[in-house]
Structure 1
């Protein structure tokens, strides 16, 4: 019995000795530990602030993008409205200018005397171009229906001598009913003129002033 008690006391003594032997934090270690904890806390705060900033920045960018999209939608509506009004104005202009219809195209006979270049400009302003004449029937219809007894500018030029092209699409002219001796008068005669009272053409000085005939592929 005494022997067992001695063993128990020995075991208790050994445990007590190990506990007493556990090391304690020194002041330096505690300072470093506290500094590390503070650094981690500061890092967490910094991360939180950064996340909040990114969220705010993203919201602002999304709002700016929404504003830009709204502006683009409004601008597009205004442009479409303006285009629609322009088309309405074009229809009205066709009606006011008394365009005449032939073979799916419309023609307008300008009575004021202008140079070839001014005539082309005037035709463009009202939605057409100086007439491109493709065949004998079209040529005859224009001359028979013109509203002035005078020569008419058409859209034919040879800015490269002898190479006659239409101002509308720059295609080479195939039908060319020149009046006898005309069609190759030289570099001073570069613009096509429908010759009154015949159904023939002249190559003439572009700076001369004559009435004109416009053509449009949009016909109402």
Structure 2
């Protein structure tokens, strides 16, 4: 009598079952993943149609960077948009501002801002001046006075100009009363946080090391 055990009709050998399972497992995982992805896409599509912005958070950020901070807004005719600044920069209207913790000369500050793809702050409106002044004052600890270089420099005697070639407007200048003075030696401008109001521009010798405010355009996505 043969010792070989015949399989019953409709049954499979255990070894063949294991082989079949090993073959099917990757396909089962792939199918499940595709079904899950389809569900997520469907949920996001429904959420967006209902005006829910939560799915838009996962939209790719500019310059392939994950280190951005964004606020949501609405641009007429374009739907929902995000306005983004690099992390560590402050958003105001359409610009991002960096308030440094270290100090440099005016020229060093200009080079540093340029190296970050920005420029020393150019202030052209009272609203912008109020934002910058308020933030700069909040960085002061105790009675310590901090000065911040901005992008205004005297090119010729009593002829002031911005680093990005924006025309200097005397009606949108925020000098401390009595400033600027000593025009022969004090050619660079900084914000003086010892002043309580928004009129806090003061001119200093360019070699003095102060903090700096860099500015760049915010990115919309």
TM-score range, shorter chain: 0.5 to 0.7
Query: Is 1:105 matched with 2:102?
Result: no
182, 189, 194: which one pairs with 1:185? 182
Aligned-partner Cα distance in 1 for 2:179–2:66:
37
134, 149, 169: which one pairs with 1:153? 149
Q: Name the structure with the higher strand share.
A: 2
Mapped contact 1:107–1:215 kept (Cα < 8 A): yes
The one-character-per-residue Cα deviations of 1:137-171 (angstroms, maximum 9, x if unpaired) are: 11110111136321110000012111111001252
Shift of 1:211: 0.3
The RMSD of aligned alpha carbons is: 2.3
The structure whose Rg is larger is: 1
The equivalent residue for 1:173 is 169
Mapped contact 2:91–2:218 kept (Cα < 8 A): no
The aligned length equals 134
* Change in 2 beyond 3 A, CA 1:201/1:90: farther
The equivalent residue for 2:203 is 203
78, 86, 89: which one pairs with 1:95? 86
* Change in 2 beyond 3 A, CA 1:90/1:170: farther
* Long gaps (5+) in structure 1: 1-85
TM (normalized to structure 2)? 0.55
* Long gaps (5+) in structure 2: 1-61, 70-84, 141-145
Q: Name the structure with the higher helix share.
A: 1
Aligned to 2:213, the other structure's residue is in SS state strand
Aligned to 1:111, the other structure's residue is in SS state coil
Aligned-partner Cα distance in 1 for 2:96–2:219:
5
Shift of 1:110: 0.8
* Change in 2 beyond 3 A, CA 1:120/1:137: same
